Each structure stands twice: as structure tokens, then as C-alpha cells.
Structure 1
Amino acid sequence: MKEVQNSYATKLGGDPSVSDMNEWAKTVPSNSVITKFSIREIFDLLTKHRFPNDSQIQNKSKLIEKLLKKYIQQPLYCYNNCTSTLHGTCESSGYFQFGICKCKNSWTGIDCSIYNSSTKPVVVYGSVLSGTLCGFDRSYIRKNCDGYRPWNGCPQGWISRLWVGADFTVCYKAVTSKNSSSIAGTLCGLYNFGGKEFVDILCNYTSDAKCPDYSRSGYSPVYSLSYVNGFLQSSNGFCMKSISSYPDLPGTLCGIQWAQTTDGPACDGYNPGLSHCPSGYAVQSWMLEPAKHFHLCAKL
């Protein structure tokens, strides 16, 4: 401590007559004194008076001040930006500019990237838009729309649409209905890996082509695997509503048209083929061949 030139100590509270510091500390609870103190900014230390041999001390002080203000004004930082606004939001932790991810239902983890299948998704009844898709009829997968095979016809209020070149027939809703849920057979999510086709649309944000738990969602998985010489060539599937009274989940499909055309049913008047979808829906692509794509609207 040879660098210390002067040292001062003052006793506040307790019994000032006690000379031993440890003994005095024991008397403080019986005679406490509120003290106030402040911390001066570091820039008050970076002066010519304190650093007479540093000709750049003022510039250094201004640079540090500028960087500090930039740090204070920058937005909150959360790990991986909470993955997506669909997974969670970044909220202040109260410590500097570091935030904490507040995960939405069905997501957990430090960055809300882990799907929690034990959490029941929050869903509410809304509008079933015209163009909502139901049933799935191809040569290797045939699923009905409320008991109707799309190739042969559709339930009342639904219309059949066939694409010969795509080996695909589906039912779609004719008129939008409010405050309701769609019928059994409604499509949610769609995926195809391997072969010449590719599509990856999630149902209720579930990853790895999985469907939400049936007991909580009322949706069932539909799969089709293609093998050649004992080797898996392609995997196809989607989620299909089995219980009509359950609300429609994010990933519900609406409207399907060839890309850059209006050939096919629109979604509530919006043409996905022209990359247009109604509010609350996003355009998704289904590639059948490198130069042959469907565009669909998927519920957010």
C-alpha cells in the first residue's frame, strides 16, 4: 500500500466509542445510519490532469463515451433472437441490454427452439376461409374429406378440383364461414422428401414432419413411403383433421394454384399462385418438378 498517500475512515452509526472495527460492527444494528453515495462517470477520470503524459486522453474519453452510449441504445439481445417471433419474444432481464426469451405455448428452451409436446396449444375458433383444402387423393395416398373421396365428389359446400398432370385431387371450401372449424379431412402441413418432389409445411409448428398430439389436437398423421429395391426413395405425408369440432391449427392449407398463375382455387379471394395470401396466412411452395410448382397459403 505504499502508493496510498492518505487514508481516512469515519464511523457512522453503531457505538463510535468502540475502537475495534469488528466489535463496532456488532453495534451497528442497534444504531443504524442511512448513507448515500454516488458513482462518478469514468469520463471524469480520463482527464489531462490525471493523465498528463497522454496526448490522446481526451479523444479516448470521447470514444469510450460514444461506445457506451451505443451499447445502451442498442436493442435487447436474446439467444438466437428467440428462434422466431412464432416461438417467443425477447424481454428485458433488467441487467444491461441482455434479454430473456419468453416462450409461447408449445415451445421451451433458452431460445424457445425446443418443441414441448406436453403443452396444449392455444387455439381458438375463427373463420374457415373459402379455398380451405380437405381430402388428399393421389395414386399412392387416398384420404377422404368428411367421408367423400375427392375424385368422386365432395361434401356439401365443398368443391372437387383435379390436376391431371399432378396426379392430385382435393376438395376446397366454396364459401367462407365465420366462428367455426373445418370438417374432418382438412389438411394441415404437408411434406415430401426424396424423389423429384419437395415440400415442407409445418402443422402447428411441429418439426421433423410430425403432427401434434392427437389427444390434444384432433389431428392424425398420414404417411406414404416409397421403396425401390429395398431402399427408401421418398417419404410423403401430412396431418389430417379427424375430429371436426377441434379448432383449425397453424399450418392449415388454403388455396392451391400453379405458380405464377391463377389456375386453381384461391384462398378467400387471394391467389397464392401470384404469391398473395390473406392476413394470417403465408405463401408456401410445393415443388413437383424443378420447373413445376404449386403455391399454397398456410395458416400462421
Structure 2
Amino acid sequence: MIRIRFGPADLGRVTFGREPDPLWDAALAARALRDLPSSATARRWRQQARPQLRPVMKPLLKLVSPRGAFPDFLTPELDGGGLDAAIEQLLATPAEAVRAELAPHVPADVGGWMGDFLGDHQSARRELGQAVRAFHAEALAPWSVTLEGRFAADLAIRSRAILTDGVEGMLTGLHPDVEWHAPELRAHGLGAASYAIDLDGRGLLLYPSALVAECMALDVPGRRPVLVYPAAEALCERPAPSDHLADLLGRTRASVLRSLGADASTTQLARRTGISLASASEHARVLRNAGLVTTHRAGGIALHSLTLAGTRLIRSA
């Protein structure tokens, strides 16, 4: 069991990421390749991803143990900027931090890439960056619509829970394996390990993932702790055989509407639904004119959101 202890200021510092984190997704997906308990989505992804694995990806895969553990430095706290910026930040990890995490778990005379990486050879760092980039391109990109859709739908559920029940109400219904007993959040994992995390005013980042079957936590001194939990089933995942919303709006437009479980820019909308930017913009315009979607600007970006009428239409369908 993971016991996360909240201080007086921590409930107000519970947050979610705006979109999936490229390094968390890479680490969790590499972990999902192991013979571990996994979600149905992870099993389907694994079946299709395994034939796409290539030797260039080995440095990333070597950092995930057979039991599913991976080093904390693989998922740094990112400043935004996409995959390239995330890889730069990963490769800037101090050599002493790398050795502190890896040295206790590998032989002192380890050779090959791992030996070079522990020795802080720049070539080994570049190979890790190439591995993460190739893994994203070959193994994760074909599933980006599904994974981002699950992430967005989960955020929509949590956003509504906060609006109606507050943060404590949202934490109470976060996942069947999670219990809120103020001031403590208890996450029951599949393993036997039990440990406690004291937030001490750092707050908590909640990260839903379709690639895990159990809760996981990261707690590194000096940074905000992270709780990864299995994402809820998405509104947009695999329509029923009789899809009334698609009958009414058309399959693509229904997919666009469902994908707006969480706010999205036009670019995100296109990525979630697998359509062109121009098509996403046109579908958003039609849905906005119908009163199902609203568009507002935040930080210079146009964000599309479901209206109450749009939410009700999805639920009724």
C-alpha cells in the first residue's frame, strides 16, 4: 500500500498535467512490455508494439528491470516543450544522480552500453536519447490517439468531480484501488511493498495512464510527488455496435465531440482523432455553431471545450 500524507496546504496543490508526459509514457510503455499485470489496453498495445522493437531502443529497455522498476531520473519534472525538449532534459541528468540510482543494482564491472552510461560517456547519453525518440516514433505513435483519448477522458471525469464534489470528493472516487481517509490517500498496489509519502506542502501530481493496471508513485526530494493510476474507460474508446451519436453526427464528427472530454487545441483535437488540422478545425466550427462546443483562448491558444449540451448529448447517446 502507498500511503500519501497531506499537509494543510497540499489539497490546494493537487494538479493534473494538461496532456500526456512523453517521458512518463515512454517509461510506462517500456514497463508494459514486461511480463507484468497489465491493463487490456496495454495488452493490445504490447501485441502490436513488440514487432516494432528495434536494437536502437535497447538503452531505454535496459533501464526497466524485469520486475517493472525504472529509475526516477527517467521521468524528470518537465518544463514543457514536447518530446525533443523532454529528451534534452533527461540527458542533462547529473552523472552522480545516474550512478546513485543505478550502481546499487548493476555489477561493478558491468560493460557495454550500461557501463558507458554509468561512466558518463556522452555517446551513451546520445544513444539513450535516440532510443527514446525511436520508441516514441515506432511503438507509441500508432497508439497516440488511443492513449491521449484515455488521458483526456479521465481528466474530464476528474474535472467534473472537482466541480461538483471538491478535491476530496474527486480523490474519493479516483479509482477502486484508491481510498481517501483525510488527511491520507491510500493506494493499494498489486505488489507487497508498502511505503509512505509525506507531501509536506509539495502538492501532488496525478497522472492517469492506460498502460498500467496498478497505482505507482514517485517521490524524489525537492520535487512534487507523482501518483500514476489506471485511467478510467474513455468516452471515445471503441463505440458500441449501435452508435447513436455517430448515426446522428457522422462517425468522424462524433469522434471529435467525444475526444473533447478535456479541453483541446485544434492541433490536439486532430491528434486525438487522427484527422488533419483543417478537418479538425472545420468539425470544431460546425459543433460550435450547433452549440455543442465552445472555443476560448488561453495563453494565445484557441481551446475547444464541450458545452453542457454537448456533454448531455454524449451521455444520452
TM-score, L = length of structure 2 = 0.20
TM-score, L = length of structure 1 = 0.21
By relative contact order (CA 8 Å, sep 6+), the higher-ranking structure is: 2
Rg bigger for which structure?
1
Which is strand-richer, 1 or 2? 1
